[in-house]
Structure 1
Amino acid sequence: MLTGLVSLDGQPWLAHHMVRDTVVFPGTGFVELALQAGQHFGHSVVEELTLETPLVVPDQGGVQVQVAVSAADERGRRPVTVHSCRAGEWVLHASGTLGATGALDVTGALDVTGALDVTEPRPAEVARPLDVWPPEGARSLDVSGMYEAMAERGYGYGPAFQGLRAAWTRDDEIYAEVALEPEAQDVAARCGVHPALLDAALHGVGLGRFLTDLGQAYLPFSWSGVALRAVGASAIRVVLSPAGADAV
């Protein structure tokens, strides 16, 4: 079991993740907690993780958070849960399963207004090289006003979460470059993947034909097959592909 305190004093970058004027702990933060817990128990993959209830971060003080990992089942998988405690009341925020192998999948969304599904790529896609960047035939996209447009839909992203630097499109895919601001890079070195970086990796979703209602605010709420192939990154290249309605 892992425990800690979530607060704006301890993690000031969380103040940059607001949804409808409320500071909400990002879904990618729960992914990082599950990955860290898995490392302690020798399970390197988050096979699945579903967010049950949003975790609102208070303006003052903090919220106690507990990550619990249960005994392994007959297949060697371990259940994992994330709870918070405030005023003596424990609340379940995320539950899932830790395993040994996998690739990335995000499914669904918190009930803000919409739902986002990020789905496991095929093995060949996971392994494909990105040596030619941007890929041949990709068309550059203008991202200069993207965060202003996102703010109109309810996303209150401050500088720590405004990580999308450039984007391209080819066929039905979006290619993007995402980076953390310099002030966040020391935190990134201590993470599997900094939640703000992984969150920004999904911001390119709004640039493609992935969502059924572009006027809604979509947040990921279910992930599967999340596996790290490098840790502590402060900049990444991203490939987003469609996987059904409201799914990538």
Structure 2
Amino acid sequence: AVAVEVEDLYERLAAAGFGYGPVFQGLRAAWRKDGDVYAELRLPESEHEDAARYGLHPALLDAALHALGLDITGPEGADGPRQARIPFSWNGVTLYATGAAALRLRLSEINEDTASLLLADESGQPVASVESLVSREIAAEQVRGAGGGFVESLFRVEWTSLPVSAAPAGRWAVLGADALGAAGTGAESFADLAALGAAVDGGVAVPDAVFASLADSAADTAPAVRAVLHGVLATLQEWLADERFASSRLVLVTRGAVAGGDDLVHAPVWGLARSAQAENPDRVVLLDVDGGDFSREALSAALAAGEPELAVRGGALRAPRLARVAAVSDTAGPVFDASGTVLVSGASGML
């Protein structure tokens, strides 16, 4: 057999656009003879204990496939880089033994795209075999292009302008501080739900929407957060228990709690109210305002559309929508400042 140079194999693969971490750089030596490739594969010492947990450690199996890339060269190669090959179709796979941390491989070429594999431990006992493995050439550009410029599983919330159409305004009532007064909504104000209930008992029509406006927070302190949350919880419980308002919606109005706002006292209200929304669909709406004027008609249309969360910014209504996060290019800098501090919330597993 003729020895094959593998010391710089992973550097050549990286130059061609295929990077492997240290655990996956397991091909340690290789030889050729009569069209077959023989190789020694070994996990790093740090992975030997974990090897017993697997039928065949995935990094060790992957290292066996690196024998398919022995001829790959970097961009400086005389004929340019040869495309790497990736597994496409497995046939006749058998596992004979488990827990190996080191293997010996014989890879036999069946044709240009297909090979068979025999894996044995260091004493020669069979560990696994593959009757035929079909591979396909692929360039790094194809892998990057397949993502379509997005990280498929990563999303973020974007506040998107709502296309609203005319809708009847309906009957409105406001509890507490009138955060909607600047817009001239014409809604009648009540001190609290008890006062509204008494008015309904006295003949006032049940409103379609009741706006409970939270007062501006005086201080960003833990006691202030607790006080606001206890008040909102009491309002939600009273609202949901009152059958007179079963066909109405409660709109909790905050100021600067979301969509770029910085009110740390009002922000937790959204988390609490979302729990109420999940348990009582179409009974509670969250509305965050910025202090500017906005159209009663537009808000009526948004409420008629059944939006559970809304924000008013610059007179326009916005609703949260999930949007894909664009993929970060290879040349982009770190997302976090490496010299800064990162706060991990909930890491202990307790609320």
Higher RCO, 1 vs 2 (CA within 8 Å, ≥6 residues apart): 1
Identify whether the pair has TM-score above 0.5, normalized to the shorter chain.
Answer: no
TM-score (norm 2): 0.29
TM-score (norm 1): 0.41
CA radius of gyration, larger in: 2
